[in-house]
Amino acid sequence: MAKLLRINLSTRTSSVEEVPEDYNKFGGRGLTSCIIEKEVPPTCDPLGAENKLVWAPGLMGGTVAPCSGRLSVGAKSPMTNGIKEANTGGAMGQKLARLGLKAVIFEGKANEPTTVEITKDGVSFTSAAGLAGLGSYEIVEKLKDKYGKNACISCIGPAGDMELLAASVMFTTPDFHLRVAARGGLGAVMGSKKMKAVIVDDTGSNLVEVKDPAKLKESCGVINKVILGDHFAQGLRHMGTPQIVMITQTAGALPTKNFSMGQFDQAEKISGEYMEELLRKRPNSATVHACMKGCIISCSNVYTDDDGKFVTASIEYESIALIGSNCLIGDLDMVARINRACNDAGVDTMDVGSALAVAMEGGLLPWGDAEGALKLVEEINAGTENGRMIGSGAKFTGDKLGVKRVPHVKGQALSAYDPRILKGTGVTFATSPMGADHTAGIVLPGPHHPKYSPVDSTGQAPESRFMQEWMAAVDTLGYCMMVGMTMMEQRQVVETEQNMIAALSAVTGEQYSEHYITELGRSVLEIERRFNKAAGFTEKDDRLPEFFTEEKFGPGQFVFDVPAEEIDSVHQV
């Protein structure tokens, strides 16, 4: 049976523990949130010794279930001051699961920059003084050479060293590209513990115990068929998430000029269609790339320049929209270079992209100044005043420059969907315990829900509530969001949801109710809401910035006008 690994940075000790009964029903996000609620004081300093950093693979982690290798990273967020889970791909989730670890709990604070190595033989600590101040790419190269090709590397860049609010935790894929647990400043938490890097090697470890392998294979066969037959998944297999650029552009919901417009006159130049055509001409590029073993969609990409020199992998819709259209930057190559600079510094491209737009609105840079934006992001590594500002995200930048129009909730920048057009998603932005985050419960129209109108002012709370519960369950099971969205679209096919439940039952040997997924997601949200309430959050924190409710938007002259009482009803079930 899987165990908990507790690592104390202060004493350089570790212990393997049995999983407490109240932790055992969870994995992934549910488990990180459960541990944070039980073990972290809600009012503690997020960058103080009392906070803990928790890594947990999902309940399906390490199995043959498709796209189930995600990792949840949890802590109290220095950006939102509430509970936080940042989700990532890469190799780490599967390796921890195969080592028989249900979660790793990092606590305390080292006396010097430290590298932690985890193998089947235990935990070891070494000085990381030689890595201090280095960018993510150089760190990965050094550690890959030292620890070998079967290792998964996690690290923080200079932003984490400086404990900047938008600092992220970086992870490697099986072929050593970077993936990011991006949101909420959890890289700053890792930096506050002086933990520079973590190496995990599962060589010689046993596979995850599965109670009924035949039943798991059968259930996963149905899930695979549903995923591969879905129209959205088919688009992801060609263009990845950049296909969303023209979808939101057409809907008038593409963040443009700091969320003041919903369409960008250069959208086609930063679109997934343009990127696919561009990369097919470039050496060493790839329009399809899997960030983890067992991924059947492969929605990532490898972006190179005209000469075939590596730039970044992967560039995603959120980064393209918030660095590109939101800053009036219509050059995809420059967006990719800024994306790379963010990865090297170890910061969230979403919050930093939004911060760049806020800086442009504040007059620090001209609108559309791609070279200036790149230079500003590169200043994060140098630790300049402006670099530290941008590396601390949109709200911090707005406060520093006196900009009033800052698109954030609970201190975290909005994802790349305008809530005046997608009002159900706006309700999620407002009410999610995680701050403004599309992965917490994006609400979209589509063939799966033909009667739903995203611009209606009422009826949005039930849609948001369903999606928040669904995605909390998906994160807890360890599935990729893209798979979660695909399976949600097909939920009217009863076999889809029931086969997700059957697959878990095959792994654990336990039986679950037909409403298990909804019940699981709801229980996770209840944990997170309790923590935030104890930390001092109220309904007043579940609101979008006023400019979304006041500034008329697009041809339909929409505002975000979902009534406060409906917003407050989301979690009153």
Q: Which of these three, 164, 181, 201, is where a domain ends? A: 201
* Gap between the Cα atoms of 562 and 443, Å rounded: 14
Q: What is the pLDDT of residues 382-426, one digit of tens each?
A: 999 999 999 999 999 999 999 999 999 999 999 999 999 999 999
Q: Which of these three, 201, 216, 240, is where a domain ends? A: 201
Residue 491 has pLDDT above 60, yes or no: no
pLDDT at residue 206, rounded to an integer? 80
Q: Which of these three, 413, 435, 461, is where a domain ends? A: 413
pLDDT at residue 490, rounded to an integer? 63
Residue 30 has pLDDT above 60, yes or no: yes
| 55 beta partners | 73, 104
Q: Buried b / exposed e across 121-146, counting CB within 10 Å, b at 16+?
A: eebebeebeebeebbbbebbebbeee
Same domain, 282 and 428: no
Mean pLDDT, residues 489-511 taken together = 83
Same domain, 174 and 99: yes
Residue 416 burial by Cβ neighbours in a 10 Å radius (0-12, 13-18, 19+): buried
- Residue 320 binned pLDDT confidence (cut-offs 50, 70, 90): very high
Residue 228 has pLDDT above 90, yes or no: no
pLDDT at residue 496, rounded to an integer? 77
Residues 501, 516: contact at Cβ < 8 Å? yes
Mean pLDDT, residues 86-98 taken together = 97
Domains in the chain, number: 3
Residues 56, 473: contact at Cβ < 8 Å? no
Residue 25 lies inside a defined structural domain of this protein: yes
264: nearest Cα among 275, 241, 243, 248? 248
Same domain, 403 and 303: yes
Mean pLDDT, residues 223-245 taken together = 86
Residue 492 has pLDDT above 70, yes or no: no
Same domain, 351 and 434: no
Mean pLDDT, residues 487-506 taken together = 78
- Residue 573 binned pLDDT confidence (cut-offs 50, 70, 90): low
377: nearest Cα among 396, 349, 418, 401? 349
Mean pLDDT, residues 261-265 taken together = 97
* Gap between the Cα atoms of 283 and 377, Å rounded: 27
Same domain, 191 and 257: no
Q: Around Cβ 239, how many Cβ atoms within 10 Å?
A: 24
pLDDT at residue 110, rounded to an integer? 97
Same domain, 190 and 239: no
- HSE on the CB side for 202, CA within 13 Å? 18
* Gap between the Cα atoms of 529 and 4, Å rounded: 24
Q: Give me the domain span that covers residue 399.
A: 230-413
Residue 84 has pLDDT above 80, yes or no: yes
pLDDT at residue 231, rounded to an integer? 79
Residue 488 has pLDDT above 80, yes or no: no
- Residue 487 binned pLDDT confidence (cut-offs 50, 70, 90): confident
Residue 194 lies inside a defined structural domain of this protein: yes
- Residue 330 binned pLDDT confidence (cut-offs 50, 70, 90): very high
What CATH number should be reported for the domain holding residue 112?
Answer: 3.60.9.10
pLDDT at residue 482, rounded to an integer? 84
Residue 494 has pLDDT above 60, yes or no: no
* CA dihedral of 484, 249, 288, 471, whole degrees rounded to 10: -10
| 299 beta partners | 289
Averaged confidence pLDDT in the chain: 95
Residue 196 lies inside a defined structural domain of this protein: yes
Residue 68 burial by Cβ neighbours in a 10 Å radius (0-12, 13-18, 19+): buried
Same domain, 503 and 446: yes
Residue 492 lies inside a defined structural domain of this protein: yes
Q: What is the pLDDT of residues 501-557, one digit of tens each?
A: 999 999 999 999 999 999 999 999 999 999 999 999 999 999 999 999 999 998 889
Residue 220 lies inside a defined structural domain of this protein: no
Same domain, 382 and 454: no
Helix axes 349-361, 332-345, angle to 10 degrees: 120
* Gap between the Cα atoms of 150 and 545, Å rounded: 46
Residue 178 has pLDDT above 70, yes or no: yes
What CATH number should be reported for the domain holding residue 402?
Answer: 1.10.569.10
Same domain, 25 and 129: yes
Residue 10 lies inside a defined structural domain of this protein: yes
